């Protein structure tokens, strides 16, 4: 009998041979060895490992998931663990940074930070903005601004608590006054840069918080 061809041997890896095929394999060393080789090849295929995707694969997928609305951004405050920070306080911290450029942010975060809110004087000069010369420099500036912003919130909260002895924001009338001030400032800022998404978001946040506080004040008329 002639040797069995490779395709027949490939079938015999997991199928029962015909009697004549079995008889041939029992007698033919070459066919027996070839069958064993194909069996080993099949076993090796079954043991192939997983393959790590190339670098950058996740970023491409992430961008597409976001663009298709399949993935939510957890939000800056959730990411940094400040989700419970009242909106008006975030607005206050942002206003401090906005009004003073790096100056007040540095004040709030530096070792020589003011001991009380009264010591925190708002600079009267217009905000100073660094002009970025490249995308990289702009990205760095944004990161630094965000870090200052977060530090400012924390420090601002500490100052409020140390002055009032209770959790910040417990006096709705003071909040209302602060929010009125912030609303005026942020409306002016939006007029300066109407297309700026950050400023617009900030203004919306302040107006929303002002509305909520106004309702709270109205619902507690016995305070008057």
Partner 1 sequence: MQEISTGPSESQLIRLAADGDARAIRQLYDRYSPRVYAVVRRIAGDDDLAQDYAQEAWIRAIRALPTFRGDARFSTWLHRIAVNAALQALRKSETRKKQEGPVPEQVLVAPRGGDALLQQRLERALDELPYGMRRVLILHDVEGYTHEEIGDTLGVTSGTSKSQLFKARAKMRDMLTALDGAAQESGAEAWSI
Binding-site ranges for partner 1 (CB under 8 A): 5-11, 13, 34, 37-38, 40-42, 44-54, 57-58, 60-62, 64-65, 68-74
User: Who's near 159: CB < 8 A, 6+ residues apart?
Assistant: 114, 116, 117, 120
Instruction: Compare residues 54 and 195 and give the one whose CB is closer to partner 1.
Output: 54
CB of 75 vs partner 1, minimal distance in Å: 10
CB of 136 vs partner 1, minimal distance in Å: 25
CB of 41 vs partner 1, minimal distance in Å: 5
User: Who's near 179: CB < 8 A, 6+ residues apart?
Assistant: 88, 91, 206, 209, 210, 213
Instruction: Compare residues 51 and 218 and give the one whose CB is closer to partner 1.
Output: 51
CB of 23 vs partner 1, minimal distance in Å: 20
Instruction: Compare residues 82 and 106 and give the one whose CB is closer to partner 1.
Output: 82
Q: Please tell me the distance from the alpha carbon of residue 26 to that of residue 75, in angstroms, as a whole number.
A: 70
Reference 150, options 96, 224, 219; nearest CA is 96
Instruction: Compare residues 56 and 165 and give the one whose CB is closer to partner 1.
Output: 56
Instruction: For 100-118, give one letter per residue: b (16+ CB within 10 A) or e.
Output: bbbbbbbbbbeeebeeeee
């Amino acid at each position: 009998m002639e040797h069995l061809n490779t395709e027949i041997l490939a079938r015999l890896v997991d199928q029962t041979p015909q009697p004549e095929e079995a008889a041939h394999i029992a007698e033919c060393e070459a066919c027996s060895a070839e069958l064993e080789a194909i069996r080993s090849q099949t076993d090796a295929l079954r043991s192939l490992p997983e393959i790590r995707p190339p670098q950058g694969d996740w970023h491409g997928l992430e961008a597409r998931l976001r663009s298709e609305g399949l993935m939510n951004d957890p939000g800056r405050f959730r990411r940094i663990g400040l989700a419970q920070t009242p909106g008006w306080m975030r607005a206050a911290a942002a206003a401090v940074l906005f009004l003073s450029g790096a100056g007040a942010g540095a004040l709030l975060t530096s070792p020589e930070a003011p001991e009380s809110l009264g010591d925190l004087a708002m600079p009267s000069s217009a905000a100073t903005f660094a002009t970025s010369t490249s995308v990289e420099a702009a990205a760095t500036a944004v990161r630094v601004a965000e870090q200052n912003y977060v530090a400012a919130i924390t420090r601002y909260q500490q100052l409020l608590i140390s002055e009032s002895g209770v959790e910040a924001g417990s006096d709705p009338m003071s909040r209302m006054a602060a929010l009125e001030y912030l609303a005026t400032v942020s409306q002016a800022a939006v007029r300066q840069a109407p297309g700026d998404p950050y400023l617009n978001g900030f203004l919306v946040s302040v107006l929303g918080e002002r509305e909520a506080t106004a309702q709270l004040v109205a619902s507690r008329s016995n305070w008057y």
